[in-house]
Amino acid sequence: MDPSSQGATRDVLYEPDERPPDSLAFGLGLQAAAISIGGIVLTPAIIIRAAEQSEAYLSWAVFAALIVSGISTIAQAVRFGRIGAGHMLIMGTSGAFIAVCVTALAQGGPGLLATLIVISSLVQFGLAAQLSLLRRIITPTVAGTVIALIAVTIVPIAFDMLNEVPEGTASAAAPASAIATLVATVALALRATGALRLWAPMLGIVVGCVVASFFGLYDTGVIARADWIGLPTFAWPGFELSFDARFWLLLPAFMFVTVVGAVESIGDSVAIQKVSRRKSRAVDFRTVQGALNADGMGNLLSGLFGTVPNTTYSSSLPLVELTGVGSRRVGMYIGIVFIALAFLPKLIALLLAIPGPVIAAYVLVLIALLFIQGMKLVVQDGASYRNSMIAGLAFWIGLGFQNGLIFADRLGETLGQLLDNGMTAGGLAAIVLTAFIEFTQPRRQRLETELAAASLPEIDELLRKMAARLDWDPDSTERLRSAGEEALLSLVRQDEDVPAGDDRRLLVVARNDHGTVEIDFIAAVGQDNLEDRLVLLANPAADWSPERDLSLRLLRHYASSVRHQQYHDIDIVTLRVERIR
């Protein structure tokens, strides 16, 4: 970790724990709902109509999807125990599941679909619980690549929407509406300040709709025909519990897509922490675990309600960057709006009546910010040769599959449908490449001991042997041993803040990474993050205790990088120590 890279401040008006005025929070929540409602409603419509299911089931699935999206978005914001990120993360139906859901509906109907979704949702709870074990596979490079590929999968849809106009419409209608939306949104986002900047997304859409109305693109008739309040016909499908061959053949595909969706959620929950704070902090992986649990809860509810699966929407990230508001209170209002819309068909019609060119132009702004956010995650993970290779190759593989350029006619129907989504294909490639690097690393040296200063001789002996095996000179060996000593003392001092109880164990894992020694200290310690404390120490004006922080200052001197990952019940401090040249 380079402290200097962590010192920049962002133009954030409200952080997650800060409370903006209710009028502002509700207005931003309404904006976010307006740009998300299309995906939530259209995804089940595409799936159910492609599988030739009844209109009654479609109405029920859309209603249930809005309810589940609202509940899970609120859970992400409020954070119930270990469920939820405590950030503004929008939840909605997942387009990545379209292919497998259509197949399940066609082969076994809504009951089989519901059963598969409930069972596969357990994967996300398992991933959240064991996230620390997967930290070397699902890395920021993998998550950032998946986020960038989300933009790739959305671009064709946005470009198609630019031309979504009724026959006989004036040729200038679509370009004029799209350009008006784009110009208004970008101009306000770049130049507006204060309250005007907060309303930039909605004002851009309003300007686009006004221009579109002059060409007759805004269909007010759909709004007029919709009821103010209404409920769909009860069409809950129940469950198919025969567990026959159809279930077992489809379950692996559902679990695979669930894992890819989980990687997206990990990337979103890492990125939302970065864009929602004025000053950079180390990523809190307890927040990531909470986001995964909420995502799993959303999928579980989707199956129980009989609708299509849920996931985090990456539109949360550019929305926070555009408005400067990362308050979780906005997330609560987004969820409330989703639930209210389920019972208010006229408001759904009002939002769905927004012309395609207007939505497309606004989505292009979000895509641009989303792509850059994904690339930032990759770069911040360290632009090493290996990370660059993983990100670059996975991105182009995803792009190739997304555009049907890679063996499109040789994959078969099921595999072809799975991999024609760039996020799925590229995400799988990134995971496989990262796993290959991890499993072909040199053998690690391990030591399990007590988290106490008395364990220093054991740790020192482990590191001394490691240096001897690498034929390091005495000065480099001393640097390695000193880094290990200061890391242990820093953890021990943190542990002093934890109430007394059973002896705490410490696992030390050291390995050779192309001549650089990487050491993991795995333990249960206090609440402070060592990365954040190192940033504070880099600030001469910071209030610090010389006795308490001396080890951290020495640690920063000896180690080339320090990374502190905090999970529920476990902390992992990773040091990289380079040989003195």
In angstroms, the CA 94 to CA 75 distance is 18
DSSP state, residue 244: -
Which residue has better confidence, 3 or 58? 58
How high is the pLDDT of residue 549? 54
Which backbone phi and psi does 10 adopt, to 5 degrees?
-115, 160
Lowest mean pLDDT among 182-191, 421-430, 535-544: 535-544
pLDDT at 206 over 50: yes
Mean pLDDT of 385-409: 84
pLDDT in tens, 45-97: 767 766 778 878 888 888 999 999 999 999 999 988 889 989 999 998 876 67
pLDDT at 4 over 50: no
Residue positions counted in the chain: 581
In angstroms, the CA 201 to CA 187 distance is 11
- Determine what percent of the chain falls in helix, strand and coil, rounding each to the nearest 5: 65, 10, 25
- Give the contacts of 181 (CB within 8 A, at least 6 positions apart): 204, 205, 207, 208, 211, 357, 358, 361, 362
Nearest residue to 205 via CA among 364, 341, 65, 329: 364
User: Do 128 and 289 form a contact (C-beta atoms < 8 A)?
Assistant: yes
In angstroms, the CA 269 to CA 464 distance is 39
How high is the pLDDT of residue 332? 93
- Domain coordinates of the chain in residue numbers? 15-438, 445-577
In angstroms, the CA 344 to CA 349 distance is 9
What is the CATH code of the structural domain delimited by 445-577?
3.30.565.10
In angstroms, the CA 72 to CA 538 distance is 39
How high is the pLDDT of residue 534? 52
pLDDT in tens, 283-310: 788 889 999 999 999 999 999 999 999 8
Is this structure's pTM higher than 0.75? no
User: How wide is the angle at C-alpha 378 spanned by C-alphas 376 and 379, nearest 5°?
Assistant: 65
Tell me the CA distances in angstroms from 191 to 183, 198, 302, 359, 360, one per residue in order: 12, 12, 41, 22, 22
pLDDT at 363 over 50: yes
DSSP state letters, 67-133: HHHHHHHHHHHH-BTTBS-SS--EEEE-GGGHHHHHHHHHHHHHHHHHHHHHHHHHHHHHHHHTGGG
Which backbone phi and psi does 93 adopt, to 5 degrees?
-65, 150
Mean pLDDT of 251-272: 81
How high is the pLDDT of residue 544? 46
pLDDT at 339 over 90: yes
pLDDT cut 90: percent of the chain above it? 12
Mean pLDDT of 358-368: 79
Let me know if 540 is exposed, middle or buried by CB neighbors in 10 A (0-12, 13-18, 19+): exposed
pLDDT at 220 over 90: no
In angstroms, the CA 530 to CA 526 distance is 10
pLDDT in tens, 134-193: 877 878 788 788 878 877 777 777 787 788 777 777 888 889 989 999 898 888 878 776
DSSP state letters, 195-243: HHHHTHHHHHHHHHHHHHHHTT-S-HHHHHHS-SS--------------
In angstroms, the CA 114 to CA 463 distance is 53
Beta bridge partners of 507: 448, 522
User: Do 575 and 513 form a contact (C-beta atoms < 8 A)?
Assistant: no
